[in-house]
Amino acid sequence: MRNSQRTPLIQLINISKIYTMGDLVVKANDNLNLTIYSGEFVAILGKSGSGKSTVMNIIGALDIPTSGQYILNGHDVSKMKDDELAGIRNKMIGFIFQQYNLLPKQSLVENVELPLMYAGVKKSERRERALAALEKVGLLDKHKNKPKQLSGGQQQRVSIARALAGDPSLILADEPTGALDSKTTREVLGFLQQIHQEGSTIVMITHDNSVAVEAERIVRIQDGKIIFDGNTEKYKVEYNL
């Protein structure tokens, strides 16, 4: 199906986020327009301070914009209250963080179950889905282990399983390889590509060109504005990579 005939999963329309501190006004996001469809793997790329975390917080329903409209899967998120935002987050978004954010005292399967608990999935089904997600990332045999018994790359795979377990509409990854060495980075990126091929929609935030090019589309931001939006091959040509 052509893009124009599909309903977008994410639609940012004239989104701005403005911080005011005394006389200082910072346009952390400055009139962003961005449409992402189901099944895409998009990297949002930019230098430190360019506005990546700000836009990720908006896309992830963790924060609302100062102005503009954000439509997520048909819901207008831009004016939602905190409890409504939390509901949307639990139902629709799986998060992957740089520091994995696993609970150290809980086993792997308990960690993966946690978002399912917030989403109100009943106990027996939680366990089943968490084990299936761990199997998907190749860590079923370690499901009773604690996070610290794993390598960094394995811990990030657990956090990918946790993001997948709720069967979210969107996987949102914030610098998912930021804490990993280059070999493990390749492994985790390979993993994200695999779940993308299996149908997941992924938005990945990164400051690193070599990470961004593993996505199929790159959105580059600078000073809160989008300065490039296109497929990765075009990006490589334009930026001499």
Is residue 136 within the footprint of ligand ATP (CB under 6 A)?
A: no
14 binds, among ligand ATP, Mg ion, none (CB under 5 to 8 A by kind): none
- The footprint of ligand ATP on residues 202-221 (CB under 6 A) is 207
Q: Which is nearer to Mg ion, 61 or 205 (CB)?
A: 205
Nearer to ligand ATP, 52 or 89 (CB): 52
Nearer to ligand ATP, 131 or 205 (CB): 205
Looking at 46-54, 98-106, 161-169, 181-189, which segment touches ligand ATP (CB under 6 A)? Answer: 46-54
Residue 174 CB, nearest distance to Mg ion (Å)? 7
State which residue, 154 or 177, has the beta carbon closest to ligand ATP: 177
Question: Which of 12, 41, 53, 89 touches ligand ATP (CB under 6 A)?
Answer: 53
Token pair 């998912």 in the structure block, residue: 176
Amino acid at 240: N
| CB closer to Mg ion, 97 vs 228 | 97
166 binds, among Mg ion, ligand ATP, none (CB under 5 to 8 A by kind): none
Per CB under 6 A, 49 contacts ligand ATP? yes
**Binding stretches for Mg ion (CB under 5 A):** 53
Q: Name the minimum Å distance from CB 17 to ligand ATP.
A: 8
Q: What is the DSSP string of the chain?
A: --GGGSPPSEEEEEEEEEEEETTEEEEEEEEEEEEE-TT-EEEEE--TTSSHHHHHHHHTTSS--SEEEEEETTEE-TT--HHHHHHHHHHHEEEEETT----TTS-HHHHHHHHHHHTT--HHHHHHHHHHHHHHTT-GGGTTS-GGGS-HHHHHHHHHHHHHHT--SEEEEESTTTTS-HHHHHHHHHHHHHHHHTT--EEEEES-HHHHTTSSEEEEEETTEEEEEEEHHHHHHHTT-
* Integer Cα distance of 155 and 149 in angstroms: 9
Q: Work out whether 19 is an interface residue with ligand ATP (CB under 6 A).
A: yes
- The residue (of 5 and 48) whose beta carbon lies closer to Mg ion is 48
* Residues forming a β-bridge with 221: 226
DSSP-assigned beta bridge partners for residue 204: 43, 173
Minimum Å gap between C-beta 97 and ligand ATP is 12
Partner from Mg ion, ligand ATP, none binding residue 19, C-beta < 5-8 Å depending on class: ligand ATP
